[in-house]
Structure 1
Amino acid sequence: MLGTHARSVRRAFFAAGILAAAVALAAPIGCGRNQNAAAPAPGEPTKVKVAYLGLTCEAPIFVAHEKGLFKEENLDVELVKTDWDGLREGLASGQFDANHTLIMYLLKAIEKNSDIKITGGIHTGCLRLQVGVKSEIKSPAELKGKKIGVPTHIGSPPYMFASRVLAANGIDPSQEAKQVTWLAFPPDALAKAIEDGRIDAVATSDPIGTILVGKGIVRTIADQATDAPYSEEYCCATVVSGQLVKKNPGAAAAVTRAMLKASKWVEANPKASAEMAVEKKYIAASAEINAQALSHLRYIPGVAKCQRSIESAAAEMKKAKLLNEATDPVALSKRAWVDLEGVTDERVLAMKVERIEGGGRPALLAPREFAALFDMRKLCCGCCCLGE
């Protein structure tokens, strides 16, 4: 019979599933090449298409649009909602000009020759590896021979993070090696699976990870936000279509600068950013839940650190067999990156953003208090790392 903890978490995950389904069903628009970012007449704004998924961590995209930061760069931006496959394919084809998303997700696509370029770091991560509260497992090194659950499907960002952690602890995470067993579950089934002992550990993203902790179901043994070297890396980065770089590098630089400045704005005003995203209907969540989730991330934009993040992620992805055996991580990192005019750490440091009264960082709720928000059947905020 389903326990009280599991029933409440299932209700929370059911809400999360509604959002995930909505994102997954959002059909990519068209398949032709976007011609909007061609050089305009002198003085006229450049038309640019920026894709988004409707996720909490995309706050800088929404802020740049609503607060006029794209306009400051003389850009006429159209925001286009898509899904994960549509995002990857749209950026590669030039249908979309820009976005910001997961570095690991981008590297896998670039390895497959997707014509996309990473241009700057946006925020730190929200991925975790967790075990049951009654488990005797104390560290990732003890997961050899164990069963690990992942949300949605094998290959999702939580799976990628967990694979990196295992490889760093001497465990071959590949399915062929059979040193661990990977099992995919619907997000709402993870709690019961770990309570029933069908899995020994779970790879999660926030808010799922915090909900499970708050419900007293799991404890964390690896955290992307706090554990080195992951805590020193960017989770998500600005990305532009390779075609935009070729035909209008100035526009590629401008859209990158706008999102980096917006990242700074979000860090200064997380509560205001969260409320705006809900009010403008970019996010299907309550403002309270969105503000709490957003405040767990750190938006400190940067350039050189982003390049180092790409190199580190590529090297560890190769070690974890998330990249092909023949792939050179250094060469892949160089192919993934492009330097753009005016996109520098000096320029980012010089960017000034306003501070909205009452819009700063709210007091973070304890995991149990945060989890309780979902008992009120409010729709989950989602996360950039929930699934691929």
Structure 2
Amino acid sequence: MKKHLAFWWLALILVTGCTLATPAEKITIRVALLPILDGLPIVVAQQEGLFKKYNVQVELIPVGSAPERDQLIAAGQADAMINELTSVMFLNKETPQVQAVRFARTATTDQALFRILAAKGAGIQGVSDLKGIAVGVSQATVIEYLTQRLLEQQGFQAGEIQMVSVPKIPDRMALLASGELKAAMLPEPFSTLAEQQGAIPILDDTVAPEYSFSLISFRKAVIDQHPQVVKGFLAAVEEATQRINADPQKYSTLMVDQKMVPAPLAESFRVPTYPLKGVPTADQFADALAWAQSKGYLKVDLVYSDCVNPNLLP
């Protein structure tokens, strides 16, 4: 009997030990990624083995448009993305689906993310000339929000701000180049390309950088079920960001290879500086929400903590 008890006790110890030694569940984080400068740290983290270093498996899913990106997220076919506060809010209007967990890029007082440019020959030389002029934007996006806020910051009244929706950047650039649009808001690096083609820079977000940023957002279900995995992902992105900022020109070829920069700018466009860890403040969230509600894009109140989660940063 004692021999039998000893055998079963030893077996229990072995089984328990094996159970404790079993590695945690592995999941693959699927990132819906547009070919934009904001995604460079994520690509660097993947290519330089930083996700592996932090024990995270990542699959990058190329997408061609913001609607395609949001559809993948809503369908649960992607877990993370780079987007903006307006995108987070629209996805969360019925129930919290996604949370912003980190800045991807931010404007600063010496680094613009977006510019309003005037068409060559349009007779627009300064900001005041934009009064009553229809500025080409992408409706219900950060571009429309930012255009309104920048012009308000310059003293424009509501009736002096005019916008026309041209959702696709190539179309906006073509209409600006032809003069059919007298002015347009464009993101970098396309604003630099438009300037090279003759457009005149009028106003950019360096005058009010608090309004201009992009985000890394995750599906809330992934955050709730796998918070340590999300923390590992963000730790890898943080290290990739530090590497880029320490030696930006090392990544200039990668930036071009990933089609984040148009070919004509391959030799001249400099790798931008990327923000270290951080998330939007409650005031930034409240302002974007108030704008979306004032435009009729949202008819509900949203809670900051449902949409922004600062607790996963390294």
Give TM class, smaller chain: 0.7 to 0.9
Query: TM-score by structure 1 length?
Result: 0.62
| 2:275 counterpart (300, 313, 318) | 300
Measured after TM superposition, the shift of residue 58 of structure 1 is: 0.9
Instruction: Report which stretch shifted further, 79-88 or 54-63.
Output: 79-88
Alignment identity in percent? 18
- Alignment partner, residue 68 of structure 2: 86
Larger CA Rg, structure 1 vs 2? 2
Q: Deviations over 1:85-118 (max 9, x none)?
A: 2321333343222233333433333345450111
How far 1:69 sits from its partner (Å)?
Answer: 1.1
Asked if the contact 2:177/2:194 (under 8 Å) is kept, the reply is no
Change (3 A) 1:317 1:47: closer
| Structure-2-length-normalised TM-score | 0.74
Q: 1:149 to 1:307 in 2, by over 3 A?
A: closer
Choose which of 191, 204, 214 in structure 2 pairs with 1:236.
214
User: What is the CA deviation profile of residues 229-279 of structure 1, one whole-angstrom value per residue up to 9, with x for unaligned ones?
Assistant: x2x466122211111012111112221222232222222233322323555
| Cα 1:158/1:110, change in 2 over 3 Å | same
| Contact 1:128–1:220 under 8 Å retained in 2 | yes
Indicate the SS of the match to 2:100. strand
Aligned position for 1:65: 46
Aligned to 2:126: 138
Asked whether the equivalents of residues 97 and 220 of structure 2 are also in contact (C-alpha less than 8 Å), the reply is: yes
Aligned residue for 2:194? Answer: 212
Shift of 1:213: 2.4
Inter-partner Cα distance in structure 2 for 1:277 and 1:162: 27
Q: Give the alignment partner of residue 185 of structure 2, picking from 196, 203, 212.
A: 203
Q: CA RMSD in A?
A: 3.4
State how 1:109-188 maps to structure 2 within 5 Å. Answer: 109-111=91-93, 113=95, 115-125=97-107, 126-132=113-119, 135-136=123-124, 138-139=126-127, 143-150=130-137, 153-168=138-153, 169-172=155-158, 180-184=162-166, 187=169
Is 1:48 aligned to residue 23 of structure 2? no
State the SS of the aligned residue for 2:60: strand
Deviations 1:293-332 (A, max 9, x none): 452x3202222xx232x6325414524735646444xx44
Q: Secondary structure of the equivalent of 1:119?
A: strand
Structure 2 vs 1, CA of residues 294 and 317 (structure 1 numbering), >3 Å: closer, same or farther?
farther
1:275 aligns with: 253
1:43: how far off?
5.5
- Report the AA paired with residue 308 of structure 2: W
In structure 1, the partner of 2:8 is: none
Query: Partner of 1:372 in structure 2?
Result: none
With over 3 angstroms needed to count, the CA separation of the structure-2 counterparts of 1:256 and 1:57, relative to structure 1, is same
* CA spacing shift, 1:41–1:53, aligned 2, 3 Å: farther
1:227 aligns with 2:198: no
Give unpaired runs (5+ residues) of structure 2: 1-20, 108-112
